[in-house]
């Protein structure tokens, strides 16, 4: 694809081993295209992924401030701090609270402490319409999400992410989610758990509402449902701030300007050249990716007890997770290469 299109820029949002490191390195050697990765969840993923794969990119965009500091300590100079945003094509003025279909809603997967929080709200007489994997309503089309947000008097956001170590103590991290910008952008009233640097983007109490714990959340939900005029003023202010400062048009303008400065030229200094991939050399990586009988036997030995333990549906994913967590600790960046064992055995389960 890269050879055919000969692009100016290649933009990736990688989770783990969707692309081999050898693929990206081959492109870097063969093409003048600028290669960018937009990293997600660096609050917990920096150690196991970002720091290991970042050297093959010209620019590595992270939304987590601590990852930028860690990258400098690790000698990585291609990191850039950015942030999630709202889709400028889906901006909509807020509806008055009295016209909203839902009093309170949440759109997102049911995992971590989210089901517990929602159940606790229900005990306190607050019914939350939840949409996404794991909730009774199930997942909804992406095109329906802005409508649900706009038609909700209160839209919730939880900032919980994966676990990070503070010394030797694991604690659940909080980070700014894309939902923080999507809700005000779609015309919603955002009530969110706090996260690092959140006040750099919105004024709590005037453009969004921040809660700390179940008691605070429940109390503020009841307050704003009982005071729709105050709710409407905050929703309008949050939307105006989003429209002016927090759309992807604005985020990517800065990103592309930085990418242009990071651009590479042809080996002879003449400027951009046509892309010519050495596929004969690349075929060696394809061969290295194939799993022989020994690896397949190993997969079976790992898979069987996992299926017995958690069932036929979840067993393969548990086996993949065990293999992945072991691999990045022992083999580091090789995990994301063509010869990486997790990808060779469990690509389907990923």
Residue 89 CA to its chain's centroid (Å): 20
How far apart are the C-alpha atoms of 50 and 347, rounded to whole Å?
19
pLDDT of residue 268: 47
The whole-number average pLDDT for the span 87-109 is 97
> Which whole number is the average pLDDT over 264-268?
49
Q: How is residue 145 written in tokens?
A: 């999400």
pLDDT of residue 260: 87
What was the pLDDT predicted at 160?
A: 65
3.60.21.10, 3.40.50.510, 3.90.850.10, 3.40.50.2000: CATH of 88-246: 3.40.50.2000
- Average pLDDT (153-177) is 69
Q: What is the pLDDT of residue 328?
A: 97
pLDDT of residue 274: 80
Calculate what percentage of the chain has a pLDDT beyond 70.
Answer: 93
- Mean pLDDT calculated for residue range 172-179: 80
Do residues 53 and 74 make contact, with C-beta atoms less than 8 angstroms apart?
no
Q: What is the pTM of this model?
A: 0.86
pLDDT at 267: 44
Q: What is the pLDDT of residue 272?
A: 52
Fold agreement (1-85+248-289, 88-246): yes
Q: What is the DSSP annotation of 128-181?
A: -EEESTTSTT----GGGHHHHHHTEEEEEE--EEEEEEETTEEEEEE---THHH
Lowest mean pLDDT, pick from 48-62, 113-127, 161-175, 184-198 = 161-175
Q: What is the mean pLDDT of residues 23-52?
A: 94
Res 157 pLDDT > 50 = yes
Report the pLDDT value the prediction gives residue 347, as an integer from 0 to 100: 87
Fold for 1-85+248-289, please state it.
Rossmann fold (3.40.50)
Q: Domain segments of the chain: what residues? A: 1-85+248-289, 88-246, 290-350
Strand partners, 190: 155
Q: Tell me if residue 324 falls in helix, strand or coil.
A: helix
Q: Identify which of 13, 27, 59 has the alpha carbon closest to the alpha carbon of residue 256.
A: 59
Q: What does the mean pLDDT of the chain come to? A: 92
What is the model's pLDDT at position 266?
A: 44
- Residues 130 and 115 sit within 8 Å (Cβ to Cβ): no
Model confidence at 161, in pLDDT bands (50, 70, 90)? low
Averaging pLDDT over each range in 101-105, 262-266, 311-315, which range is the top one?
A: 101-105
């Amino acid at each position: 694809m890269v050879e055919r299109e000969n692009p100016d820029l290649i933009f990736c949002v990688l989770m783990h081993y969707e692309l081999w490191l050898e693929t990206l390195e081959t492109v870097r050697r063969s093409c003048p295209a600028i290669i960018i990765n937009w990293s997600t969840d660096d609050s917990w993923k920096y150690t196991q992924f970002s720091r290991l794969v970042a050297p093959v990119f010209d620019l590595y965009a992270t939304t987590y401030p601590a990852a930028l500091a860690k990258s400098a300590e690790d000698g990585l100079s291609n990191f850039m701090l950015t942030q999630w945003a709202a889709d400028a094509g889906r901006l909509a003025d807020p509806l008055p609270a009295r016209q909203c279909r839902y009093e309170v809603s949440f759109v997102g997967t049911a995992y971590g402490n989210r089901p517990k929080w929602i159940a606790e709200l229900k005990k306190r007489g607050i019914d939350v319409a939840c949409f996404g994997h794991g909730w009774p309503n199930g997942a909804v089309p992406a095109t329906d999400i802005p409508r649900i947000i706009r038609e909700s008097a209160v839209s919730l956001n939880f900032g919980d992410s994966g676990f990070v170590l503070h010394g030797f103590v694991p604690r659940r991290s909080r980070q700014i989610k894309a939902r923080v910008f999507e809700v005000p952008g779609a015309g919603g009233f955002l009530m969110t758990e706090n996260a690092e640097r959140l006040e750099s983007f919105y004024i709590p109490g005037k453009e969004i509402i921040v809660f700390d714990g179940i008691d605070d959340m429940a109390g503020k939900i009841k307050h704003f449902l009982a005071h729709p005029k105050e709710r409407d003023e905050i929703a309008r202010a949050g939307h105006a701030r989003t429209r002016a400062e927090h759309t992807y048009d604005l985020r990517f303008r800065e990103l592309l300007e930085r990418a242009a400065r990071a651009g590479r030229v042809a080996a002879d200094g003449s400027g951009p050249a046509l892309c010519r991939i050495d596929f004969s050399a690349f075929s060696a990586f394809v061969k290295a990716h194939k799993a022989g009988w020994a690896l397949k036997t190993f997969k079976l030995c790992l898979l069987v007890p996992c299926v017995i333990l958690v069932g036929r549906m979840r067993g393969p994913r548990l086996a993949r997770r065990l293999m992945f967590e072991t691999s990045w600790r022992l083999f580091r960046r090789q995990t994301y290469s063509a010869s990486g064992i997790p990808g060779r055995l469990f690509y389907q389960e990923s």
